């Protein structure tokens, strides 16, 4: 059969509250045209993030009922530990309440003024946690990763030539080399197995640990299986084990590819680093067998890890994004190609060419998607990245809108509805207004800034 159906049926549903366009215009105005300030029950299709928004399975809810809440040595921890180890063969597995907590702990140990941490592209919390220690976060993405129309299969690869030159010059200042899989900030594009291993080799040649930001490891493994020569006959768990076999550690947000609503971990091989990390964990997260989570959350992660490597699930998951990209592309909406693993990225700078970057074309499109169809998305562009520390502004590299797909939440007809809303916007796209910011905090302004349309 050609139709790829959702590989699940639905036992428990949540209602979507339908709103009208005039109601949404009023709500968006009341939110000062910032979609983060909307109440979630005023949103019909919420594509703000794929993080912590997964639908859990009956098996996950079931295992939560038998979760054990002992402070130390809970059986839930040992089930979590075994499930993580089954895919990621690290010596020390340290649970945290989410991904950024793992990053904060890691860089409280490895960071510091004068340090430089290279990666393909650091996610913004990773960058934040590195910079908070006085260190520098350096992005070394391959050039094709910056071209929305380049169809290369692994646009999330780290640029090995630049990494080699960077290490030759700065190795003394580098505490570790990182790679993010998939590359969220770069459109959810994967890194190849070959690239991951080659980056690890460069790190090791300089005696440095290689750390993987693993949030979307299963989606990355799916792309390796289907795009990397010689990998198509391997199972997803086998590819995952291979991806991590030359790494010295990982940071993980279980809110993505562990199919849970909260959770994460830090894994390390080095005993001394792990000892320091656990000491820090006890101060900031909790005892090392729960790390800021309830025992039941650890069980949900263990079960989620077994489910996320299922090939029927991953095929459906990635196909949803491909379908949206194909349909939007066919109607002339500029999108990043090929489709990423967790999201569809629309190139708003190109589509809203009449709105200059400093009037935020991505933001304008995000507002229009909400007003037209109750769809909530995020701008990834000049609002998010355009403010310099001195308060001045410059255009970001791209002005994108991210449609992040929650896992197992929306169905094919929701996808068709999204396409229809874009189709409706098409006719009036040239009239969408630019925006100005009326109030903003000094950092991370996209979360709380207030806006006004310029018409
Ligand atoms: N690394 C990557 C690549 C991420 O995408 C995220 C979160 C984190 C680390 C931090 O994990 O949220 O559990 O603390 N990304 C979310 C997003 C927020 O919407 O892309 P966390």
The answer, yes or no, to whether any atom of ligand 1 lies below 6 A from the CB of 99, is yes
Measure the CA–CA gap between 429 and 347, rounded to whole angstroms.
13
Q: Quote the pLDDT of residue 212.
A: 98
**Average of per-residue pLDDT across 350-355:** 97
Q: Quote the pLDDT of residue 2.
A: 83
User: Please, what are the domains in the chain?
Assistant: 21-50+311-453 (3.90.1150.10), 58-308 (3.40.640.10)
Q: Quote the pLDDT of residue 187.
A: 87
**pLDDT bucket at 148, cuts 50 / 70 / 90:** confident
% of the chain exceeding 70 in pLDDT? 100
Tell how far the Cα of 125 is from the centroid of ligand 1, in angstroms: 7
The answer, yes or no, to whether any atom of ligand 1 lies below 6 A from the CB of 257, is no
Tell how far the Cα of 303 is from the centroid of ligand 1, in angstroms: 21
pLDDT above 90 for 390: no
Measure the CA–CA gap between 316 and 254, rounded to whole angstroms.
20
Tens digits of residue pLDDT in 44-75: 999 999 999 999 999 999 999 999 999 999 99
pTM of the model: 0.96
Q: Which residues contact 52 (CB under 8 A, 6 or more apart)?
A: 98, 255, 260, 261, 262
Beta bridge partners of 177: 210
% of the chain exceeding 90 in pLDDT? 93
The answer, yes or no, to whether any atom of ligand 1 lies below 6 A from the CB of 446, is no
**Average of per-residue pLDDT across 256-274:** 98
- State the DSSP code for 407: T
Tens digits of residue pLDDT in 201-243: 999 999 999 999 999 999 999 999 999 999 999 999 999 999 9
Residue with tokens 């199972």: 235
Q: Quote the pLDDT of residue 403.
A: 98
- Across the chain, mean pLDDT equals 96
Q: How far is CA 284 from CA 69, 105, 287, in A?
A: 19, 9, 9
Q: If phi over 0 gives left and psi between -120 and 50 gives alpha, with beta otherwise, what is residue 24?
A: alpha
**Average of per-residue pLDDT across 160-175:** 98
Atom of ligand 1 nearest to the CA of 404: 19
The answer, yes or no, to whether any atom of ligand 1 lies below 6 A from the CB of 182, is no
**Average of per-residue pLDDT across 122-143:** 94
Q: Provide the residue count of the chain.
A: 455
For residue 167, count other CB atoms closer than 10 A to its CB: 19
pLDDT above 80 for 175: yes
**Candidate of 52, 95, 99 to mutate for ligand 1, largest count of ligand atoms within 8 Å of Cβ:** 99
The answer, yes or no, to whether any atom of ligand 1 lies below 6 A from the CB of 139, is no
Q: How far is CA 191 from CA 199, 316, 373, in A?
A: 11, 20, 34
Q: Quote the pLDDT of residue 201.
A: 98
DSSP helix/strand/coil, 264 = strand
Q: Give nearest CA residue, ligand 1 atom 16.
A: 51
Q: Quote the pLDDT of residue 4.
A: 87
Give the side-chain half-sphere CA count within 13 A for 113: 0
Measure the CA–CA gap between 57 and 304, rounded to whole angstroms.
8
**pLDDT bucket at 22, cuts 50 / 70 / 90:** very high
pLDDT above 90 for 1: no
**Candidate of 54, 96, 123 to mutate for ligand 1, largest count of ligand atoms within 8 Å of Cβ:** 123
Residue with tokens 């549903």: 13
pLDDT above 90 for 97: yes
- State the DSSP code for 153: T
pLDDT above 90 for 168: yes
Quote the radius of gyration of the chain (alpha carbons, Å).
22
């Amino acid at each position: 059969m050609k139709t790829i159906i959702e590989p699940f049926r639905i036992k428990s549903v949540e209602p979507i509250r339908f709103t009208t366009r005039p109601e949404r215009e009023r709500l968006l105005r009341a939110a000062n045209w910032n979609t983060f300030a909307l109440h979630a029950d005023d949103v019909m299709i919420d594509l703000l993030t794929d993080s912590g928004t997964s639908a859990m399975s009956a098996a996950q809810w079931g295992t939560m009922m038998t979760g054990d809440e002992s402070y130390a040595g809970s059986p839930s921890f040992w089930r979590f530990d075994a499930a993580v180890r089954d895919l990621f063969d690290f010596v020390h597995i340290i649970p945290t309440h989410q991904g950024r907590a793992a990053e904060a702990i890691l860089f409280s140990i490895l960071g510091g003024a004068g340090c430089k941490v290279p990666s393909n592209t650091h996610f913004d919390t990773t960058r934040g946690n590195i910079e908070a220690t006085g260190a520098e976060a350096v992005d070394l993405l391959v050039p094709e990763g910056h071209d929305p129309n380049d169809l290369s299969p692994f646009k999330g690869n780290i640029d090995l030539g630049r990494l080699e030159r960077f290490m030759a010059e700065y190795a003394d200042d580098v505490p570790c080399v990182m790679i993010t899989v998939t590359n969220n900030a770069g459109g959810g594009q994967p890194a190849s197995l070959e690239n991951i291993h080659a980056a690890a080799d460069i790190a090791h040649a300089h005696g440095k640990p290689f750390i993987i930001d693993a949030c979307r490891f299963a989606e990355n493994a799916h792309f390796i299986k289907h795009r990397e020569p010689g990998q198509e006959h391997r199972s997803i768990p086998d590819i995952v084990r291979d991806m991590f076999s030359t790494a010295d550690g990982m940071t993980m947000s279980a809110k993505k590819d562990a199919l849970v609503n909260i959770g994460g971990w830090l894994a390390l091989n080095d005993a001394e680093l792990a000892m320091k990390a656990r000491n820090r964990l006890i101060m900031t997260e909790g005892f090392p067998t729960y790390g800021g989570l309830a025992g039941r959350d650890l069980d949900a992660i263990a079960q989620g890890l077994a489910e996320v490597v299922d090939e029927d699930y991953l095929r459906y998951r990635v196909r949803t994004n491909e379908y949206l990209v194909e349909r939007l592309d066919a109607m002339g909406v500029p999108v990043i190609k090929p489709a990423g693993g967790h999201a569809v990225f629309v190139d708003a700078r190109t589509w809203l060419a009449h709105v200059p970057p400093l009037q935020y074309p991505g933001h304008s499109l995000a507002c229009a998607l909400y007003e037209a169809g109750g769809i909530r998305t995020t701008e990834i562009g000049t609002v998010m990245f355009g403010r310099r520390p001195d308060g001045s502004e410059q255009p970001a590299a791209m002005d994108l809108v991210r449609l992040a797909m929650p896992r197992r939440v929306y169905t094919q007809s929701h996808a068709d509805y999204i396409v229809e809303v874009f189709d409706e916007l098409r006719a009036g796209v040239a009239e969408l207004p630019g925006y100005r910011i009326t109030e903003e905090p000094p950092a991370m302004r996209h979360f709380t800034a207030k806006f006004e349309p310029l018409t």
